[in-house]
């Protein structure tokens, strides 16, 4: 059963990290999920359910109100200290992926990030052409902020899973207050980019979709350039929230990514849950599904 925790690590009592910690507590290098602007910790419920069933320890979290990247990174480091986690794997969706990269960069001298999975993510905030408004989000009423976020959600005909995923995210967006939304949009848009030379030794998987999402082709190309050795996990469809509407594929790609750490002290899985045959079958099935997509 996922443990729901609320943790304060800063001197400021209003900064509360909310998180679900699920799977075997003995695992010291879990996979941590960082949500997008509109997301709460529970947008990753499909991953929590599946991955803990396979023996992984996963933590899905929701950020407190932070207004700049440095402040976020400092708070996140304190959270990991509080949870007594020396190194972690990070799965970041959109803004979550950007923050994951910034955190890896921030801790590069005494590394805390063992690996990164970047889903529909970006490395430079200027792609949103909002850097000039970033300083005024804090002034805007909640309904305006929600409108800005909703403007990036897909419209037009969608399959039922994608429609459900968007409904779920709209619902989560409604649950966020003005300062939560304003601070996340500020982090999403204030002028900043990732310095790749500081994190180039970290194993990375770039996960993206080929259908409509908020990310431009240029932003995707930039990510491939930044991480030439990254593994690529492409989903034919999935829109902005593939972890909701294409969870089986996303979960498989997560397992493939974490495979390289099995049998090391950075394994995110309970060793007793790993069977060699099972892993072999998974590799083959993913390989064949990729070949089919290429044909």
If you average pLDDT over residues 83-111, what whole number do you get?
97
pLDDT digits (tens, 9 = 90+) for 60-80: 999 999 999 999 999 999 999
The distance from CA 122 to its chain's CA centroid, rounded to whole angstroms, is 11
Residue 293's pLDDT band (cuts 50, 70, 90): low
The distance from CA 161 to its chain's CA centroid, rounded to whole angstroms, is 20
Longest dimension (CA), the chain: 56
pLDDT digits (tens, 9 = 90+) for 168-213: 999 999 999 999 999 999 999 999 999 988 998 999 999 999 887 7
- pLDDT at site 50: 95
Whether the per-residue pLDDT at 111 is higher than 80: the answer is yes
User: Which residue range(s) make up the domain with 123?
Assistant: 3-294
Residue 131's pLDDT band (cuts 50, 70, 90): low
Look at the chain and report how many structural domains it folds into: 1
Instruction: Locate 5 and state its tokens.
Output: 């925790």
Q: What are residue 128's phi and psi, to 5 degrees?
A: -85, -5
- pLDDT at site 65: 95
Can you tell me the distance from the alpha carbon of 219 to that of 119, in angstroms, rounded to the nearest whole number? 12
Burial class (CB in 10 A: 0-12, 13-18, 19+), 218: exposed
Helix (H, G, I), strand (E, B) or coil at 265: coil
Q: How many CA atoms lie within 13 A of 295 on its CB side?
A: 6
Whether the per-residue pLDDT at 40 is higher than 90: the answer is yes
Residue 281's pLDDT band (cuts 50, 70, 90): low
Residue 37's pLDDT band (cuts 50, 70, 90): very high
Instruction: Locate 98 and state its tokens.
Output: 């950007």
Can you tell me the distance from the alpha carbon of 189 to that of 133, in angstroms, rounded to the nearest whole number? 8
If you average pLDDT over residues 284-293, what whole number do you get?
60
Q: Are strands 204-209 and 231-235 parallel, antiparallel or unpaired?
A: parallel
CATH at 40: 3.40.50.1820
Whether the per-residue pLDDT at 47 is higher than 90: the answer is yes
Contact between 25 and 57 under an 8 Å Cβ cutoff? The reply is yes
- pLDDT at site 283: 65
pLDDT digits (tens, 9 = 90+) for 156-167: 778 899 999 999
- pLDDT at site 294: 56
Report the chain's C-alpha Rg in angstroms.
Answer: 18
Residue 154's pLDDT band (cuts 50, 70, 90): confident
Q: What percent of the chain has pLDDT over 70?
A: 92
Average pLDDT of the chain to the nearest whole number = 90
Helix (H, G, I), strand (E, B) or coil at 200: coil
> Which contacts of 81-87 are long-range, i.e. CB under 8 A and separated by 24 or more positions?
81/9, 82/7, 82/9, 83/7, 83/21, 83/59, 85/28, 85/29, 85/30, 86/28, 86/29, 86/112, 87/28, 87/29, 87/111, 87/112, 87/113, 87/114, 87/266
Q: What percent of the chain has pLDDT over 90?
A: 73
Whether the per-residue pLDDT at 295 is higher than 60: the answer is no
- pLDDT at site 119: 96
If you average pLDDT over residues 242-257, what whole number do you get?
95
Helices and strands: H and E segment counts in the chain: 10, 8
């Amino acid at each position: 059963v996922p443990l729901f925790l609320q943790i304060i690590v800063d001197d400021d009592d209003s900064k509360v990290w909310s998180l679900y910690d699920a799977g075997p507590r003995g695992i010291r290098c879990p996979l941590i999920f960082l949500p997008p602007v509109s997301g709460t910790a529970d947008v990753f419920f499909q991953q929590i359910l599946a991955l803990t069933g396979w023996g992984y320890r996963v933590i899905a979290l929701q950020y407190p109100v932070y207004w700049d990247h440095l402040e976020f990174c400092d708070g996140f480091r304190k959270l990991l200290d509080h949870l007594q986690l020396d190194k972690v794997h990070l799965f970041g969706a959109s803004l979550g992926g950007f923050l994951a990269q910034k955190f890896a960069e921030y801790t590069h001298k005494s590394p805390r990030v063992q690996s990164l999975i970047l889903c529909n993510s970006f490395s430079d905030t200027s792609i949103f052409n909002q850097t000039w408004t970033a300083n005024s989000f804090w002034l805007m009423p909640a309904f305006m902020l929600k409108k800005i976020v909703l403007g990036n959600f897909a419209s037009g005909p969608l399959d039922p899973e994608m429609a459900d995923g968007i409904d779920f995210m709209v619902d989560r967006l409604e649950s966020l207050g003005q300062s939560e939304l304003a601070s996340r949009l500020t982090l999403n848009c204030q002028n900043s980019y990732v310095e790749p030379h500081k994190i180039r030794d970290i194993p990375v998987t770039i996960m993206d979709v080929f259908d409509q999402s908020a990310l431009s082709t240029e932003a995707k190309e930039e990510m491939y350039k930044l991480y030439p050795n990254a593994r690529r996990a492409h989903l034919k469809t999935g829109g902005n929230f593939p972890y909701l509407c294409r969870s089986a594929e996303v979960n498989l790609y997560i397992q493939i990514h974490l495979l390289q750490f099995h049998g090391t002290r950075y394994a995110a899985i309970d060793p007793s849950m790993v069977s060699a045959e099972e892993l072999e079958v998974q590799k083959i099935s993913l390989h064949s599904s990729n070949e089919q997509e290429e044909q």
